Structure 1
């Protein structure tokens, strides 16, 4: 069995073929898509976060709006770039969104990927300390975020406050119990996956990772997940961890599907650079008739290792078509793989 969700990058552009011409289109359609996906029986609605781009960037208003309109579906991110964040303010935002959703928030965070502008986090008022890299700054902010999510008081109360205080040091409010255990780390390397396990975070592994041995993408990703699970066990955490992988999967069941995605049927892994000195491996897209998809996906080692699969969706094609894409996977593919 798998938890199955969608992952939207939230693109928009004033393009004649897009159903999302504006930011408002994308935001409102994201809410509608999550509601429809829950009605369909999908387990999760996740959204990518990119700054300085015509994509979703401020997740908490969106997550709160979805949480207010849904009852069971998990809602989350994949991922929030911690280099841009004030971790204490983020604790408040995350706590509020989680309480509105009834405790269904699954928050993916990371040190971030290359962005649209040079050192964009500096425009947000943040820069690494002397001798610190931006990646180290992002991980340090993540640790602060995790610490404050514990709900332990740390701030000395004012002896003459506007409103009465409870006894002792004060914590950030609103506090949402259990949210600390629903934080995921987006890891691009084996080392950061191990670090995430040691810190008690769930693991998100995307459609790319740093190339560490030249093997096919799904093999490298499966190795990363196994290293994460070993590190989790060694750390002695009391609960079972969760692991998600993302995939572009399209069941070609009608002419419209074949028109949009038929050319991806012969896709393959690719290698390239997402940073100047870091080679990466990018996983292939899957697009085929359902019977062929079942055969191909059964050989994906990383999907076997994960408990959660996030389907990357073409959000610009609109809510109705994306629900069709998701329904085709749930109906024609998932049962044949034992995911449903």
Structure 2
């Protein structure tokens, strides 16, 4: 069995050809798609976070709303940019969203991607310390967040509080037991995957790697996953980790599918420059279901992962994306032994 979820960036554009014309559309349709995906048999609803962009930006109200409207699927992010986050406030938000969902939150965090604005995190009041860069800032915030999720008291109580306190030092509330083991780090390289394992976080790997060794994307990503699992074993954590990968996958089962994605049948890996270094981008999979099953069976990283996240074209609307998820669950997953 392999879990299958969707990953939405929540794009919105005030254009006649977009089914998602406003921020309200993006948020409300995200909730509706999560409900539809659950009904279609999918296992997860995940959302990307980008600040200063016409995309999803504030994840916790959305996650809480999805948690209240669904009952089974995992609810997560892929990923939250930790350069922008106040770890203490984030612990409260995450705890509340997890409790509302009944413990289904799977929270992906990371350093984030290239920004819409210059040093956007500074507008949020976060500045790298002496000798730090922005990646260091993100990791510092992440490690503090993980520490606080443990639920240990750290704040001295007021001797004359407004309400009675439990004994000892106080922790942030609400505390959600088990959430600490459901934090994922979005890793773009083998070295970062090793660090992720050392910190006791699950591994989230996308359709982009910030390194290139000349081998196909899926093989390099499979190597990254193995580095993670080996490092996890050395670290001796007390629970088993999870690994997710994301892919753009389009079963061509209708005339509309062919219209939208028929040309993607020729897609290949791409190599380019990202923030001054070489990066490898994974290809799009688009084909008739039988062909798609054969192609996906050769993807070594998908085979090694526990969860597959399907990046959805959210501006095509809820109905089309629900159809896409249902096509993957019913036409593709059984042929690969995932259902």
The TM-score normalised by the length of structure 1 is 0.99
* Moved segments of 4+, more than 4 Å: none
Shift of 1:214: 1.9
> Hey, what's the Cα distance between the residues in 2 that align with 1:203 and 1:176?
21
Q: Over residues 285-324 of structure 1, what are the superposed CA-to-partner deviations in whole Å (9 max), with x where a residue is unaligned?
A: 0000001101110110100110100000010011110011
> Hey, what's the Cα distance between the residues in 2 that align with 1:319 and 1:212?
35
What's the secondary structure of 2:245's corresponding residue? strand
> Hey, what's the Cα distance between the residues in 2 that align with 1:204 and 1:295?
24
What's the secondary structure of 1:79's corresponding residue? strand
Shift of 1:184: 0.3
Shift of 1:212: 3.8
Shift of 1:60: 0.1
> Hey, what's the Cα distance between the residues in 1 that align with 2:27 and 2:305?
29
Partner of 1:326: 325
Aligned ranges 1:213-252 → 2 under 5 Å: 213-252=213-252
> Hey, what's the Cα distance between the residues in 1 that align with 2:120 and 2:181?
29
> Hey, what's the Cα distance between the residues in 1 that align with 2:149 and 2:254?
47
> Hey, what's the Cα distance between the residues in 2 that align with 1:259 and 1:174?
48
Shift of 1:160: 1.0
Shift of 1:240: 1.1
Partner of 2:311: 312
Q: Over residues 86-129 of structure 1, what are the superposed CA-to-partner deviations in whole Å (9 max), with x where a residue is unaligned?
A: 00000000000000000000000001111101111011111100
What's the secondary structure of 2:12's corresponding residue? coil
Partner of 1:86: 86
Shift of 1:254: 1.1
Q: Over residues 47-66 of structure 1, what are the superposed CA-to-partner deviations in whole Å (9 max), with x where a residue is unaligned?
A: 00000000000000000001
Partner of 2:11: 11
Partner of 2:123: 123
Shift of 1:17: 1.2
Partner of 1:138: 138
What's the secondary structure of 1:76's corresponding residue? strand
Q: Over residues 229-252 of structure 1, what are the superposed CA-to-partner deviations in whole Å (9 max), with x where a residue is unaligned?
A: 000001001211100000000000
Shift of 1:255: 1.0
Query: What residue ranges of structure 1 are gaps of 5+ in the alignment?
Result: none
> Hey, what's the Cα distance between the residues in 1 that align with 2:239 and 2:128?
34
What's the secondary structure of 1:106's corresponding residue? strand
> Hey, what's the Cα distance between the residues in 1 that align with 2:279 and 2:219?
14
Size of the aligned set, in residue pairs, is: 339
Shift of 1:18: 0.8
Shift of 1:36: 1.1
What's the secondary structure of 2:184's corresponding residue? strand
Query: What residue ranges of structure 2 are gaps of 5+ in the alignment?
Result: none
> Hey, what's the Cα distance between the residues in 2 that align with 1:119 and 1:164?
43
The TM-score normalised by the length of structure 2 is 0.99
What's the secondary structure of 2:238's corresponding residue? coil
Partner of 1:303: 302
Aligned ranges 1:239-318 → 2 under 5 Å: 239-275=239-275, 277-318=276-317
What is the RMSD of the two structures over their aligned residues, measured on CA atoms?
0.6
